[in-house]
Copies of this chain bind each other. A is one copy, B any other.
Amino acid sequence: MVKKLETVQLPKATAKRLPLYYRYLKTLEDSGVKRIKSKEFSALTQVPSTTIRRDFSHFGELGRSGYGYDVDHVIEVFDQILNVNKLTKVAIVGVGNLGKALLANNFRRDENLKIACGFEKDEAQCGEVLSGIPIYSIDEMAEIIQEEGINTAISTVPSQYSQEAIDSLVAAGVTAILNFAPGRVSAPPEVDIRYIDLTTELLTLIYFNEHLREKVEI
């Protein structure tokens, strides 16, 4: 019995793993795999099988003991949860080195994500088309973002201009922002910001590698 999805209450840690599970399930589907046991799925995702079983149990009985999970069915359930069967258009602010790298890659491994436009403070770059994506000036942001129906953006703007960039995005109606500048910025409560802080990621990695292997439960 699969639970009615609108009643599903997910722990945050489970919610965070869903996109990862989903990507691996899609890879399995692409490879023609029809069912998978939690231990096999664990080997693939490197999430402990007990965690997988507990996470999946939030959605009702997705699998049967000794049989495993039906890949197509789990994908169907996650499709509804993640609402990924639709294209999400994304704007990018800042087309320096990192911005150009993201434009060139453009989430090509995920058909539901597509960077649709870029914005740049440097007027010399406005009007250009980079990796097939038009770059506009910040002044045009509100108009373009509303025309395109975009509410998701990535900011690669350096820290000192980060708040300014986020303010422009929020004013244009964006509610979900992936920010590559690590300094916390302020935004209204309805706006979600996730920070990609490579320095902290690297420090954490080094710290775990050097000191924590035996001390911390991983």
Report B-chain residues with C-beta under 8 Å of the C-beta of A216.
9-12, 15
A122 interface residue, CB < 8 Å from B?
Answer: no
When A97-B100, A105-B97, A176-B205 are in contact, do A113 and B199 touch as well, CB less than 8 Å? yes
Mark out the residues of chain A between 1 and 29 whose CB falls within 8 Å of any chain B CB in the assembled complex: 8-12, 15-16, 18-20, 22-23
- Total contacting residues, chain A, CB less than 8 A: 68
Closest approach, in angstroms, between the C-beta of A180 and any C-beta of chain B? 10
Point out residues on A near B: beta carbons under 8 Å: 8-12, 15-16, 18-20, 22-23, 44-46, 81-84, 88, 90, 96-98, 100-102, 104-105, 107, 109-110, 113, 151-152, 154, 159, 175-178, 182, 184, 190, 192, 194, 196-213, 215-218
